[in-house]
Structure 1
Amino acid sequence: MPTSDQNPSMPNRLRLSVVRDTAIVVSLVVLGLYAGSAFLIPLTMALLINVLIIALSDRVIALTKAPVWLANLAGVTVVLVGLFMIMYILGNQATQFARSINTYESQFDEAVNRINDLVGNDITAFIRDNLVNIDMSFVARMLLGSATSLLNQFFLISLYVAFLMAERLAFRKKIRMAAGDPKTGAEFALVLDAISFSLQRYVGVKTFISLITAGISYVVFKTLGLEYSETWAVLTFALNFIPSIGSIIAVLFPAAIALVQFESIGPFLIIVFGCGTLQFMIGNFLDPAMLGRSLNMSTFLVILALMFWTTVWGLIGAFLSVPLTVCILIIFSHIPALRPIAILMSLNGELGDEGPPSGNTV
């Protein structure tokens, strides 16, 4: 009888211990992410860049039948040169923008007055009360600090990428050797192949879509004669990795500069409606069509991920929030024990289970 009285309490104690252990592990992970940000941010960027390089080199092999070493070299060169140019443009023009920020602040009142007749006094008062009070010098310093930090870390990121590419093929062999059992090693290698393929597809397609958006936006900016066109194009590219809010910010900043720079309202309207329509069309039609179910994430999860990674890693975390969360979702979806969590993270419970083409390797 005492035994039967004690048995019902065992599952409860077990559940409580699981909850306790899970809370401890999650707390340690979050603390580790925050405390180790200086080390983890360059490493995370290197891993995502490595995935992009592999996707590009595989595409080169498929199109040209080039040797693997030549395709890898081409992928490394294109991606790292492009990354360096992006960081150089941001660092250089952010410095110029920070130096001239006082000029823009003094001209903003005049710009608000120019649109008074167009939108009415109520909206003008709202713009004056909310936008004029924004500390633009703080924004400029924050962007300048982030761009300079990335430029300073470029060598470290390049070093990580070089070693990751050097161990790409050896890694599969080490996995099979570490597994001990050949069957277990082969199954684990197949899971890695599926994860690698999904990540390559997401990062590659998202980068391609962002390049299209940034390229068209740059043509518009340059045609209008907008100052710092290169910077706004680069920010458009980066901000497109942040869903919904990123595309809004990508239109808002250049539109505000156009409002201040030009005496007429025309360039401002062209950027707002032209680039805004472009962002809407790509975000709602081209993006889902090319990504398919790779970004089948809950909308609440997207906002939650944005807030979490921004809190932990700052502005860089905002840019990396969705790619990192998508990576986690994809990895969880290919691990049977974690697949229920991936289903909860998804929008409708459906996961893209597409695997790698035959012969694809990590």
Structure 2
Amino acid sequence: MTPDEDSTSAPTTLKLSVVRDVTIVATLVVLGLYAGAAFLIPLTMALLVNVLIIALSDRINALTPMPVWLANVAGVTVVLAGLFVIMYILGSQATQFARTISTYESQFDETVSRVTGFVGNDVTAFIRDNLVNIDMSYIARILIGSATSLLNQFFLISLYVAFLMAERLAFRKKLRLAAGDPKTGADFAAILDAITLSLQRYVGVKTLISLITAGISYSVFRLLGLEFAETWAVLTFALNFIPSIGSIIAVVFPSLIALVQFESIVPFLVIVLGCGTIQFVIGNFLDPALLGRSLNMSTFLVILALVFWTTIWGLIGAFLSVPLTVCILIVFSHIPALRPLAIMMSLDGRLGDETRPESAG
């Protein structure tokens, strides 16, 4: 083979080998994620919580004269206390809901009869045949089990976070030593910095939007006198972290409870039309726009990531779909062979590190 032939065939061989290697690695990674979900989900959530704590402690340290260790303690306290309050509300009210669920069984028949005039006899017959036979006691056991699982996960995540924060200062030093040479260590540090910055932007945007939406929804629930209003407000806050469909689901549950709880259909319409309109606008227009602008990630990729991570890790995967995909996009952007994939995953084809040469010049 002549040198010219060798030089012309090398790029093709390289591309085929990259495709082959990426396919094999991706298959093994997906299988590992699915098989190790019980171990990986709490660890992933702990890493995300750790990013939140670092962002908050850095902000506290920048705004106040307190020492670094005290800012870290404040960040840990605020974030973990907020998570505990959320899980406590869900856990305690889930238990209360499970205890009173028998009352909803009797009210459900009355509700079905009430809505007959609105939806027709055919739909009413379908509801009776498919929903009346639901074992509500089984649902109650699931709720109690979920509440216990939430608290168990919280303590495990807190344990992980404690050790991660304890090794925060030593981690970068260990990373430089493990890299072997300064350039490789700098590359690893750049990847971690990019991931941290993007996750902080994402969590900031989502938290602000979710707090506003949950606050408005809670006000509506309290004015209507909806039972378990705190639970539906917390679920509204949490479900808004699920792209697009989360905002829709956040309206379905309280509206159904309103339909069963109240004899009038007005509260149901208020929640569906009022909260539903707010959720629809935020979930389908404002949220994707701010999400794409802050992370430069394709909106189609957001939906694709939602389906993928939900398939792999269930409901928790839906919450973590965007942060995990952002990490993958950033890692791909720093690997030359995978950079084309990162460009396709981005919103406008521009990656975050492309502005560095211009600024340096």
Question: TM-score scaled by structure 2?
Answer: 0.84
Shift of 1:279: 1.4
* Counterpart contact for 2:206–2:241, Cα < 8 Å: yes
Aligned to 2:244: 244
More displaced 10-residue stretch of structure 1: 19-28 or 269-278:
19-28
Shift of 1:71: 1.8
Shift of 1:168: 1.6
* Counterpart contact for 1:111–1:260, Cα < 8 Å: yes
Structure 2 letter corresponding to 1:25: V
Q: Structure 1's 178 and 9: CA in aligned 2 closer, same or farther, altered over 3 A? A: closer
Provide the C-alpha distance between the structure 1 equivalents of 2:311 and 2:137, rounded to a whole number of angstroms: 21
Shift of 1:333: 3.5
Q: Look up the SS of the partner of 2:56 in the other structure.
A: helix
User: Structure 2 matches for 1:258-273, cutoff 5 A?
Assistant: 258-273=258-273
Q: Structure 1's 134 and 77: CA in aligned 2 closer, same or farther, altered over 3 A? A: same
Structure 1 letter corresponding to 2:201: R
Provide the C-alpha distance between the structure 1 equivalents of 2:58 and 2:298, rounded to a whole number of angstroms: 31
Q: Structure 1's 352 and 182: CA in aligned 2 closer, same or farther, altered over 3 A? A: closer
Aligned to 1:360: none
Shift of 1:280: 2.7
* Counterpart contact for 2:198–2:326, Cα < 8 Å: no
Shift of 1:199: 1.4
Shift of 1:68: 1.9
Shift of 1:209: 2.0
Aligned to 2:293: 293
Structure 1 letter corresponding to 2:269: L
Shift of 1:79: 0.8
Q: Structure 1's 273 and 63: CA in aligned 2 closer, same or farther, altered over 3 A? A: farther
- Percent identity, please: 81
Q: Look up the SS of the partner of 1:226 in the other structure.
A: coil
Q: Structure 1's 270 and 25: CA in aligned 2 closer, same or farther, altered over 3 A? A: same
Structure 2 letter corresponding to 1:339: R
Q: Structure 1's 190 and 313: CA in aligned 2 closer, same or farther, altered over 3 A? A: closer
* Counterpart contact for 1:197–1:355, Cα < 8 Å: no
Which runs of no fewer than 5 residues in structure 2 stay unpaired? 357-361
Aligned to 2:106: 106
* Counterpart contact for 2:210–2:240, Cα < 8 Å: yes
Aligned to 2:76: 76
Root-mean-square deviation over aligned CA pairs: 3.4
Aligned to 2:215: 215
Structure 2 letter corresponding to 1:148: T
Question: TM-score scaled by structure 1?
Answer: 0.84
Q: 1:203-250, CA deviations, whole angstroms, 9 ceiling, x for partnerless residues?
A: 233123222222221222122111111211111111111111111100
Q: Look up the SS of the partner of 1:242 in the other structure.
A: coil
* Counterpart contact for 1:294–1:352, Cα < 8 Å: no
Shift of 1:118: 4.5
Count of residue pairs the alignment pairs up: 356
User: Structure 2 matches for 1:109-148, cutoff 5 A?
Assistant: 109-118=109-118, 141-148=141-148
Aligned to 1:257: 257
Shift of 1:298: 3.6
Aligned to 2:359: none
More displaced 10-residue stretch of structure 1: 126-135 or 296-305:
126-135
Q: 1:138-171, CA deviations, whole angstroms, 9 ceiling, x for partnerless residues?
A: 5555454333222112222111111111222221
Q: Structure 1's 185 and 252: CA in aligned 2 closer, same or farther, altered over 3 A? A: same
Provide the C-alpha distance between the structure 2 equivalents of 1:89 and 1:354, rounded to a whole number of angstroms: 45
More displaced 10-residue stretch of structure 1: 76-85 or 92-101:
92-101
Q: Compare the two structures and name the one with the higher helix fraction.
A: 2
Q: Which has the higher contact order (CA 8 A, sep 6+)?
A: 1
* Counterpart contact for 1:241–1:323, Cα < 8 Å: no
Q: 1:110-143, CA deviations, whole angstroms, 9 ceiling, x for partnerless residues?
A: 2233334446667666766776676666555545
Pairing 1:158–2:143 present = no
Provide the C-alpha distance between the structure 1 equivalents of 2:145 and 2:21, rounded to a whole number of angstroms: 38
Which runs of no fewer than 5 residues in structure 1 stay unpaired? 357-362
More displaced 10-residue stretch of structure 1: 183-192 or 75-84:
183-192
Q: 1:272-312, CA deviations, whole angstroms, 9 ceiling, x for partnerless residues?
A: 11111221333356535654523444444333322322222
Shift of 1:69: 1.7
Aligned to 1:23: 23
Structure 2 letter corresponding to 1:83: L
* Counterpart contact for 1:55–1:201, Cα < 8 Å: no
Q: Structure 1's 19 and 132: CA in aligned 2 closer, same or farther, altered over 3 A? A: farther
More displaced 10-residue stretch of structure 1: 233-242 or 333-342:
333-342
More displaced 10-residue stretch of structure 1: 51-60 or 123-132:
123-132
* Counterpart contact for 1:48–1:203, Cα < 8 Å: no
